[in-house]
Amino acid sequence: MMAQPHEAMPAGTGPRAGATLRLDAISKRFGSVTAVNRVSLEIPAGSFVSLLGPSGSGKTTTLNMIAGFLRPDEGELYFDGRPVANVAPNKRDIGMVFQSYALFPHMTVYDNVAFPLRARGGLDGAAIDRRVREQLEMVRLADFGERFPKQLSGGQRQRVAMARAVVARPSVLLLDEPLGALDKNLRDQLQGEIKKIHRSVGSTFVYVTHDQSEALNLSDLVVVMREGRIEQASDPRTIYQAPETPFVAEFMGGANLLPATVASCSAAVLVLDLHMGGRVLAPASGSKPAEGEEVSLLVRPEDVLIAEKPPADPEVMSLSCSVLDVAYFGDTIRLSLDASGTILTARVPARGSAGLSAGQQVLFCWRQGSARVLRRRRYKP
């Protein structure tokens, strides 16, 4: 396959649409470990995509292949339809924010931010100076140009790293857990700033994180990775409300997953035998499981209703359990419940739940239609 190394773009030519990225069945092995396993993904130009997954799931390895620091063992990578296998990292028109920022310690903030413009060439001194000042303004560090990275706080360093990464308006921006080293408040604040920067520079952002709320908040597309493979790639709403696998549901946080066997799947509604005991109805959405298949039933904590008496409505399912713990959050309370050995979580409005206390026997109820049946993912060997 012939690769045309595309010319390094002239730097700092103002906002420009990002590149379309296509990962075509790329794999990377380190010895016996398959860090990335036939990952295919299409990332639209100018979008914000998050790679989300637990430690060791292959997020950084994927990012490093996009950057060109690692060469895929198999598969091909395309920028705007062009294969980039033979394009060196410095010619890929990429900006990058590293987890530890990797600011050059021997240069001032100004020189750090000017670095990409100088290294790419094509701009004269005055133009570079103007771009750097604009960029420092954008990340609210206009007065910090003469400082060295050591003389900045964590949040300020993060913003310098961000400024350096976008100053040349690269068509792709890679971010490897850029907020991982910061405390919660700062992270929330900087998420907003990253969003703003994404809107104003228009590059394609690929953002690695293992914080699901960060991914949900920032992205157009969330890619959940597990053991080197893509478990699911969807928009944030779908990934949260309609996870395709138990792993995704669990990773998105706080879900109740009830293991079950499919008893009947003939009608529009499935009948499930819960392993903890009890037979319930569940909606058949997506691909239909077979009779006898092992599945998980997902009940979101916010979809749970707590009742004292068995509900009359046949659409409402219920399990009897005892209250383990009541946690008060102002507007809502979170209940931990024990249903014959399985720990369940419910989030209910605080108003009208004043009487609940630990040890009490209650019914854990949900509307049949609000639950989801999740099939285990089976990979082709």
Partner 1 sequence: MDQPRHLSASFARAPLIGMVLLSLAYLIFPVVVVVVISFSGQKFLSFPPASFSTVWYRDILTSADWAQSFWITIRVGVLAAFLSVGIGLPAAFALVRRRIPGKGVLEALLLAALITPPIIKGLSLYLFYAPLGLNNTVVGLAVAHTVTGVPFVILNVSASLRGFDMDLERAAVIHGCSQLGALRRVTIPIIMPGIIVGTVFAFLQSAQELLVALFVMGSVQRPLAVKLWESVRVSIDPSIAAASTLLIAFAVVAFVLASVLQWRRRLA
Ligand X SMILES: Nc1ncnc2c1ncn2[C@@H]1O[C@H](COP(=O)(O)OP(=O)(O)OP(=O)(O)O)[C@@H](O)[C@H]1O
- Total number of residues that touch ligand X (CB under 6 A): 12
Is 53 near ligand X (CB under 6 A)?
yes
Which is it for strands 294-299 and 305-307: parallel, antiparallel or unpaired?
A: unpaired
What backbone torsions phi and psi does residue 274 show, to the nearest 5 degrees?
Answer: -70, 140
How many whole angstroms separate alpha carbon 93 and alpha carbon 79?
10
Is 164 near partner 1 (CB under 8 A)?
yes
User: Residue 244 in contact with residue 237, Cβ under 8 Å?
Assistant: no
- Token digits of residue 380: 């082709």
Site for ligand X in 210-249 (CB under 6 A): 210
How many whole angstroms separate alpha carbon 275 and alpha carbon 30?
39
Smaller CB distance to partner 1: residue 38 or 91? 91
Is 30 near partner 1 (CB under 8 A)?
no
- Total number of residues that touch Mg ion (CB under 5 A): 1
Smaller CB distance to ligand X: residue 211 or 220? 211
Which is it for strands 221-226 and 48-52: parallel, antiparallel or unpaired?
A: parallel
- Token digits of residue 259: 């293991």
Q: Closest distance between ligand X and the C-beta of residue 32, in Å?
A: 10
What backbone torsions phi and psi does residue 348 show, to the nearest 5 degrees?
Answer: -125, 155
Q: Closest distance between Mg ion and the C-beta of residue 92, in Å?
A: 20
Q: How far apart are the first and last CA of the chain?
A: 27
Is 11 near partner 1 (CB under 8 A)?
yes
- Which one of 40, 104, 291, 302 is in contact with partner 1 (CB under 8 A)? 104
The strands making up 48-52's β-sheet, listed across from edge to edge, are: 94-97, 172-176, 204-209, 48-52, 221-226, 229-234
Which is it for strands 172-176 and 204-209: parallel, antiparallel or unpaired?
A: parallel
Contact characters 40-79, partner 1, x per CB under 8 A = ---------------------------xxx----------
- Which one of 22, 59, 120, 375 is in contact with ligand X (CB under 6 A)? 59
> Which residues would be at the binding site for Mg ion (CB under 5 A)?
60
> Which residues would be at the binding site for ligand X (CB under 6 A)?
30, 33, 35, 53, 55-61, 210
> Which residues would be at the binding site for partner 1 (CB under 8 A)?
8, 11, 67-69, 88-90, 92, 94-96, 98, 100, 102-106, 115-116, 119-121, 148, 150, 164-165, 168, 174
